[in-house]
Structures are given as C-alpha cells and as structure tokens.
Chain A
Amino acid sequence: MLIIDKVNVSYGPLQVLFDISLQVGEGEIVCLAGRNGAGKTTLCKAIMGLLPISSGDITLDGEMLGSLPAHVIPKKGIALVPQGRRLFSELTVGENLEIGLITQGEEASTLEWIFNLFPRLEERLEQVSSTLSGGEQQMLAMARALCLKPKVLLLDEPTEGLQPSMVELIRATTKQLVKEGVSILLVEQKFEAIIELSNRVVIIENGRNRLILDKPSLEEDPVILKQALGV
C-alpha cells in the first residue's frame, strides 16, 4: 500500500503542496482530481523523488520513500507515466523499451506481458517513437513504465488529447492492470473516466486536500464531484 501522509512540497520559497494525504491500496484505482495548477503533477513528481518533500512521509508497504534518491524509487516498485508521454523521442520503440527494461531484469517475460497488453507496439519495434500516433505514444509511455514491473503505477492524465478509440483502449488496459495486481494512482480531470475507473477520488485544490469520495458516495451523488471539478 502506498501511503502519502501530510506531504509538503515547495518550489524554492514557494510552497505548492500543503499536508497532502492519500492512500492507494492493493488492486485499487485512486483518482487524483483537481483543476489545472492544483498540484497533481507536483505530487506525482514528489512521490517519484523528482522533487524533494519538505515534510511528511511517503511509504510503500511500510518502507519510507521520502528521503530516497529518485533513481532508487522505481526499484522499490513505483513507476510514473508522465503527462504528455515524455518518451525518448529520438529512439525507436524497441530502444525505449530496452532502456526501460535494463534496471528490471527479467526481460523476456516482461516483454511478453507488455506485448500482450499492447500488441501494436510489437509491430512497431523499429519505428522512431516521435513518429508514432498520440495513442501509440501513450501505449509506449505506459509500456516503458511497466518494464519496471511496478506495484504502483502513477498515470498522469493518460488520455489527454487522445481520440475516443484510444481513450477506450487506455482505460481498458488500466482496468486490466488492476486485475493483474497493479495499484494505480490516476491523475484525471475527466468526469466520466473518474466515475468509470476509480475506487476512490481524492480532490485537491490549491495544493490542499479538499475532498475524498469513495465509490458508493460517487455513485450516489456525482454532483459533488462535478462541482469539485467545475464541470
């Protein structure tokens, strides 16, 4: 279980996250929602060790992650699919995956698993990643993160700017991953996606926890979520 407990993060003198807390249990999809600039991406970066936390704790299965250097955290079982894909754009699909696989080890079985999830990538191994379509780039970004065989996957707005068929595919894959035991912290702003996917929604506003809604509350009164998202 990933536990974020009263985490504070600052960019220099400017504090952007204030006592943020949330939990992602095994096999859960927890949505992190909020308007632009609320601090969702900042929290993902802080979890990955890419931004230092000034106070608070981040633990995964009881192990403190807050003070670890960024390159150690993926080895502990957390992977991030960043917003806007952020591939190694000059490299081919195969090279992107190869770079992802190096730190993990069991290359053959991991690749087989990934190609089962995203068969299209296997057909495009030699293609330079910047020439892929938006949806294929998103598949590759997810696949590269999955090369680490994470226990918890952080997905930062994975369907942003994608065509409907790709959105469906990414959502279906997200559900499949949960079935296979991967826990997911999903940064999402789309109301339908949150309703469809999440076990729990954590809404943050101006870097602070505003509201936590569980599945029954969401289904019972979705208006609260709509109001929180401003839709």
Chain B
Amino acid sequence: MNDKNLALNIGVVGFLALLFFLVSDYHDGIIARILILAIFAMGYNLLFGYTGLLSLGHAMFFATGMYGYGLSVELWKFSAFEGLLFALVISFLFSMSIGVLTLRTKGVAFMIVTLMFSQVFYLVVLLFGEHTGGDEGFVISTHGRTLFGLNFVDPTSKYFASLFLFAVVLLGLTLFVRTRTGKCLVAIRENEERAKMLGYDVWVHKFIAIIISGVICGLAGASYTLIFGYAGAAFAEVHYSILPLLWVLLGGAGTLIGPLVGTVFAFYLIDISSGYTSAYLLIVGLVIVLLTLFAPQGLAGELKRRMAHWLQ
C-alpha cells in the first residue's frame, strides 16, 4: 500500500484546476466535456479494467442517467438537485436489474447480452420519441441547468462543476480499489477459479462491480445533461458503448488515471488531426495501431509496467 496514487490523483486534479486559467475558452469547453466523459470511462474501467468483465452495453447506463435526469427535469419539473438524485436512484435500480440478468453469462456471451440490452434500450428511447425526443433529443431548460445557484451556461461553472464531479469520482475510486471489495475484484479479473479457491464469492463481487460501474456511468450521463443541457438518443447508440472501451484501452485498463489519459488522448488526437486533413480518421487509426503495437497496455498501463508498478 502506498499514498503515491492518492498524491498523483490530487496532483492531477490540482493541475486541471490550474489549466482553466492557462488555456483558451475553446479548450476549457473541450476539457469540461472530456472530464464528464472521463467519469463515464472510469465507471466502465471499474468493470472492465478492474473486474475483467468486457461489456459492450455501457451506453445504456450513461443514457439511463441522462434520461433519468432530463425527463424528470423537463417532464415532471423536478429541480436540478431532485433530478440528479432521481437519476442516481434509477441508475442504481437499472444496473441492479441488468446485473442480475447479465451475470448468468460469461465471456463472449456477457459481451453479446450487454450489447443486446443496450440496443433494446436505444430502441425504447426511439419508440417513446414523443417524450424522449428520439434522434433529435431535447434541450434542457434554464431551471434544469441551475444547481445551488450555479448556472451551467456559464463556462467557468461548467468547467469547475465538471472538475468537481471528476475529482469526487476519481478520489472515491482511489479509496474503493484499496478496500477488500476492490482487491477482490482484481483477484476475480486475474482468475475467477483462483479467487474462488481463496474464498471469494465471485458472483456477488461481480454484481457489486456492475452496480457501482452503472451508477458512476449514470452519474456521468446525468451530469452531462445538467452541465451541457442536452439529452439525445445518440448517447444510447452502440458507439457510445465502444468509446469508453477505446478510451480505457488507450489510457490503460485497470489504472485509475488511465480513463482520463485515454479520453484526453482520443479527443485531442481527433481535434488536432482534423485541423490538418479531412481524412483525419486515417491518422487516428494509424496512431491507435501504433499504440496497440508499442503500448498494448495503454499509456498509463505502459508507464505502470515500465517504471511505476505502484500505479493503481
């Protein structure tokens, strides 16, 4: 055990706070978005990177939070705070149900089942387009973008609210992976049979991981709607299940800081390369291939392997 991880994560949060004053408004906006999506990736990482469960359906958890918040605020006129609580409760119940159903499977079957549930969720969003706005989605009105007197139309509020939420989740996970349950998840990821041999109830721990992962992704979805003022079916589509996997793989699965690193890297790779050519996806693809070849454990994962084994 060491406190290097805690120090590193506090340092990262401090650096991000400072960054707001150093970069342009354009980058502040991008970073705020990255931070919320990094929360999504951290939730995904808990299940994939720490527990070893590869889900292809995490868009449904993100969208549960997003619609839980958006619909409660717009349809039922909840306040922003009530909407957030509602979204978290819905995310909790939804991930519990998905956990009970999907944990009857393993490996490839788990991937397929989570993908199927996610597609069902997406189709339900489209089916009830009258309320959900379907493909076009809907914009959150002013009362739903104001929390504790902060209006998230303001870029500063946007940035620091995103950073606050990111910091809470990052530090929460830093503490969680040190708990008995956190260590059990690592044992399960490494080898389920060996974990059972040491007295771990594998099913219960996977179930806990799905719930926590689902609630974190739901929080990300709800926060996105609160801070950026929009909910849409695009966030329930399959590519929003693939993106957190990509971010986690690029950054380093099973490391706390990896999801942020991967999300930043992916966002800025697209942002910068698209400034040079319209065929920027070729560059993105090439970089991902190179990374897969030379840093198969992701950026933070490579750092961990080469020089910082203490990285959690």
Contacts and interface: CB of A to CB of B under 8 A. Distances in A.
Interface stretch (A13-21, A31-39, A80-88, A115-123): A80-88
Interface stretch (B118-126, B134-142, B182-190): B182-190
Contacts of A95: 183, 186
B307 interface: no
What is the interface of chain B mostly: helix, strand, loop, or mixed? helix
Interface in A130-149: 144, 147-148
Interface stretch (A4-12, A54-62, A67-75, A213-221): A67-75
A70 B191 contact: no
* Interface size classification for chain B: 10 to 19
B245 to A, nearest CB: 20
Given A98-B183, A99-B183, A90 B190 contact: yes
20 contacts: A48-B196, A50-B193, A69-B201, A70-B196, A70-B197, A71-B195, A71-B201, A71-B202, A73-B199, A74-B198, A74-B199, A88-B186, A88-B190, A99-B183, A100-B198, A102-B180, A102-B184, A102-B198, A103-B199, A126-B309
Contacts of A73: 199
Given A88-B191, A99-B183, A50 B196 contact: yes
A91 B200 CA distance: 17
Contacts of A22: none
B202 A86 contact: no
B194 A88 contact: yes
Contacts, number: 61
Interface of A: 48-50, 69-75, 79-80, 82, 86, 88-92, 95, 98-100, 102-104, 126, 128, 144, 147-148
Nearest to B181: A102
A132 B130 CA distance: 62
Contacts of B198: 74, 99-100, 102-103, 144, 147-148
Interface centre among A73, A102, A144 (most CB of B within 10 A): A102
A83 to B, nearest CB: 12
A71 B199 CA distance: 4
A102 B183 contact: yes
Contacts of B197: 48, 50, 70, 74, 79-80, 82
B45 to A, nearest CB: 16
Contacts of A92: 309
A67 to B, nearest CB: 15
Given A98-B183, A126-B309, A128-B309, A103 B200 contact: yes
